[in-house]
Amino acid sequence: MPDPRPNPDMSTVLRLRRAIGAIGLTLPFVLLANVYLFDVPMQESISDFFYTELREVFVSAAAGVGLFLVAYEGYCREPDEILSDRMVSTISGVAVFTTAFIPTLCDRENCYQPLALFDRLIPPSMDQIQQNIHFSAAGLFLIFMGITSIRLFTRCSVADYGSHKKRRNQCYRGFGWTIIAMVILIGVVKIFLPEHGKIWDANWSFTFWAESVALWALGLSWLLKGGTMAEQMPFLFEAETA
């Protein structure tokens, strides 16, 4: 008789997936809740919350996702495979760690104190390098999360999978392309329409909302992979076991 108890290794993988999904999905809501409930100033981007009272929230969320991604294993590497689960998750984890510990620049007169260690170690002449490292790491993290959703989450351990997996794959691709579209949108505005971008950020927090859409798509993708939606909507999705 087969053992009815759940596989502890698979249970750990599912918890990791759900944790990553929960952090990605809830971070923008937590920041907005503090803006509207506790008068924390609204910021132009999620990274800018580093220089508010919510620094610990931003750093903890980014570090938590980074730790989970570095620990995540996924599928075993196939022969001649370049972007394996392990490689993509490790690169993504290192990238999001970088966004947490190399913050964006503070362009105000009074920044939230104390300044980060990186801010104190790097001279003002290298400020632009710091900014470039931060945004490049954030973009790399989101792009690899999009690739994870489009290419890796859609894999299956069996050749002939059913309609439930096909529905999940449609969702994964939709979430992944949403993430990549938001990265491209932010990049195009920052590089080719910088003046418009500054106005949009000042008036509507454009970058914050574009990043939030990407994080919501990321969170939903990982929650789906973690079987959360299978528990809530079993008539649409089966639990993911691979």
- 164-188 average pLDDT score: 94
Distance CA 179, CA 185 (A): 10
Averaged confidence pLDDT in the chain? 86
Q: Assess if residue 39 is contained within a domain.
A: yes
Looking at the 3D structure of the chain, how many domains does it have?
1
The answer to whether residue 158 is domain-embedded is: yes
Q: What is the pLDDT of residue 1?
A: 42
Q: Angle 37-40-43 (CA atoms, 0-180°, nearest 5)? A: 120
Establish if 238 belongs to a structural domain: no
The count of other CB atoms within 10 Å of the CB of residue 204 is 12
Asked whether the predicted pLDDT for residue 198 surpasses 50, the reply is yes
**Short-list 138, 68, 69, CA closest to 103:** 138
For 119-154, how does the pLDDT look when each residue is reduced to its tens digit (9 = 90+)? 666 777 777 888 899 999 999 999 999 999 999 999
Residue 202 forms part of a structural domain: yes
Please tell me whether the overall predicted TM-score, pTM, comes out greater than 0.85 for this model.
yes
CB of 64 closer than 8 Å to CB of 100: no
Angle, in degrees to the nearest 10, between helices 194-204 and 206-225: 80
Q: Which of 12, 15, 70, 8 is nearest to 222 (CA)?
A: 15
Band of pLDDT at residue 84, cut at 50, 70 and 90: confident
Domain residues for the domain of 97 are 8-232
Determine, yes or no, domain membership for 30: yes
Q: Is residue 187 part of a domain?
A: yes
Question: Is residue 241 included in any domain, yes or no?
Answer: no
- Quick one: pLDDT at residue 241? 54
Asked whether residue 63 is assigned to any structural domain, the reply reads yes
Which tokens belong to 176?
């992944």
Share of the chain above pLDDT 90, in %: 59
